[in-house]
Amino acid sequence: MPLSDTAIRNAKPGAKPVKMTDGGGMYLLLNPNGSRWWRFDYRFDGRRKTLSMGTYPDTGLKDAREKREEARKLIAAGVDPGAQRKAVKAAGLNRAANSFEVVAREWLALKQREWTPGQYAKEHDRLENHAFPWIGHQPVADIGVAEIRPLLAHVVKRGHIEQAHRLRHQLSRVFRYAVATERASRDPAADLRDTLPARQPKNYPTIIDPAQVGELLRAMDGFTGTFVVDCALKLAPLWFCRPGEIRQAEWVQFDLDGENPAYTVPPSIRKLRKAEKENPNTQPHIVPLSRQAVAILRELHQLTGRGRYLFPGARSVSRHMSDGAVNAALARIGYKGIITGHGFRHMARTLLGELGWNPEALERQLSHKEPGVSGVYNKAQHLPERRKIMQEWADYLDGLRATGIMLPIGNMA
């Protein structure tokens, strides 16, 4: 039955904590030392949670019930009252509970389960740096086009066009969340989608002239940095993987002695959504290894093979090489701004395409998804052909390194 002030005052503490229930998930926890704590138990997203609502008598029975009803309203609107409280605290106690910053932090907490840590950090930092200083303190329902336009213009003025588009889209998602949780009536960021300058195509610096590729490879042979970075630099054009798939590679993912040597890239380090990374049915990406790649790996194994990573960090073998190591090596040999680690993918795709190799097999080797309906049904991996491509590509690079002349290779598909 519901509590009363008389029942609370007359209750005597025992040897163990006692729950005095009031209904609706709320109870008073009477502790052996005589302290009385209000608690509210609820379920959100399939999980049982508990919310602290103060102590008695500082928080009276009437006040506790009002807090319970406020929490129940948030739950009904799809908001976790615990997460909402943390967001309010993070935004500062002097800010309104429905300020843009509070709502945005709630949204970030909600989406964090869907994102990788890296993606979450990008989304969080973008709001932290470009939105909260401008509109974070304002009630989300009071923000309109006039408040959003200046902060987008500030990003554009600094030349970050792509960042401005991403910020506008992110603001729009926060406002849609505010609408869904009944704290705003519309999404003003959507009205500004056509006011930003057109996106500038993002192209990674690369080299696709065969003679210049030969010059690059010869310059790479003259690299005087550490042996670990030297191996990563030489394997980058042979594998043309994404940079993260190179620097995070582990020895357990390699088969150097089998009939078909390969690097099996696990979903956890591939460019996939978090749900795909964690899905046990997601297949790894196979990188067939050429004779040249195997030779480099065998030599590298003598140095780092007893550890976890092929390319351990300079400061600790328990961590992989930093994400800027290959680009720093390219800069060191005089190729800063001319090609990046990612640019080897563009180089391989362009030259192999011009040489007539099967585009579908090349796309599979780049770990690209085929767009549209065909991408849903076409599961062909083209591994035999890809093994041939990777070996012929390594031989082709050797030819360019030696002569700088574009020589014909293999039997093209």
- All CATH 1.10.443.10 domain ranges in the chain, comma separated: 212-403
Q: Is the pLDDT of residue 168 over 90?
A: yes
> What pLDDT, in 10s, does the model give residues 250-270?
999 999 998 999 999 998 888
Question: Quick check: is 62 catalytic?
Answer: no
Determine whether 115 is exposed, middle or buried from the number of CB atoms within 10 Å of its CB (0-12, 13-18, 19+).
Answer: middle
pLDDT in tens, 214-225: 999 999 999 999
Of 49, 85, 271, 332, catalytic: 271
* pLDDT > 60? residue 92: no
Q: What is the pLDDT of residues 145-158, one digit of tens each?
A: 999 999 999 999 98
Catalytic residue among 105, 320, 345, 349: 345
pLDDT tens-digit series, residues 105-130: 999 999 988 888 888 999 999 999 99
Instruction: Give the C-alpha separation, 293 to 397, whole Å.
Output: 12
pLDDT, mean of residues 304-329: 90
Question: Which two structure tokens, joined as six digits, stand for 292?
Answer: 């040249």
The arithmetic mean of pLDDT across residues 286-298, rounded, is: 96
Return the higher-pLDDT residue of 290 and 407.
Answer: 290
Q: What is the largest CA-CA distance in the chain?
A: 96
Question: How much is the pLDDT for 408?
Answer: 52
What are the angstrom distances between the C-alpha of 10 and each of 38, 62, 109, 181? Answer: 16, 18, 42, 41
Q: Which of 242, 320, 349, 388 is catalytic?
A: 242
* pLDDT recorded at residue 376: 38
| Structure confidence at residue 375 (pLDDT) | 41
3-state secondary structure 289-328: CCHHHHHHHHHHHHHHCCCCECCECCCCCCCECCCCHHHH
Is residue 271 among the annotated active site residues?
yes
Q: Which of 62, 202, 306, 377 is catalytic?
A: 377
Mean pLDDT lowest for which of 45-59, 156-170, 341-355, 393-407? Answer: 393-407
**Exposure string for 327-343, b = 16+ CB within 10 A, e = fewer:** bebbeebebeeebbbbb
CATH class, domain 92-202, is: mainly alpha
Judge whether 359 and 262 are in contact, CB under 8 Å: no
Region 212-403: CATH code: 1.10.443.10
Backbone torsion region of residue 371, taken as left when φ is above 0, otherwise alpha when ψ lies between -120 and 50, otherwise beta: beta
In whole angstroms, what is the distance from residue 239 CA to residue 294 CA?
11
Is residue 315 part of the annotated active site? The answer reads: no
User: How would residue 96 be classed by pLDDT, with cut points 50, 70 and 90?
Assistant: low
For the chain, the average pLDDT equals: 88
Task: Supply the pLDDT for residue 91.
Answer: 63
Please list the residue range(s) of the chain that carry CATH number 1.10.150.130. 92-202
* Nearest by Cα to 361 from 378, 340, 339: 378
Annotated catalytic residue 120: no
Q: Within 10 Å of residue 162's Cβ, how many Cβ atoms?
A: 13
Span 46-74, average pLDDT: 91
Choose, from 342, 349, 364, 386, the residue flagged as catalytic.
Answer: 342
**Per-residue model confidence (pLDDT) at position 52:** 92
Active site annotation includes 242: yes
CATH (residue range 1-76): 3.30.160.390
SS3 27: strand
pLDDT tens sequence across 2-52: 889 889 888 888 899 999 999 889 999 999 988 999 999 999 888 899 999
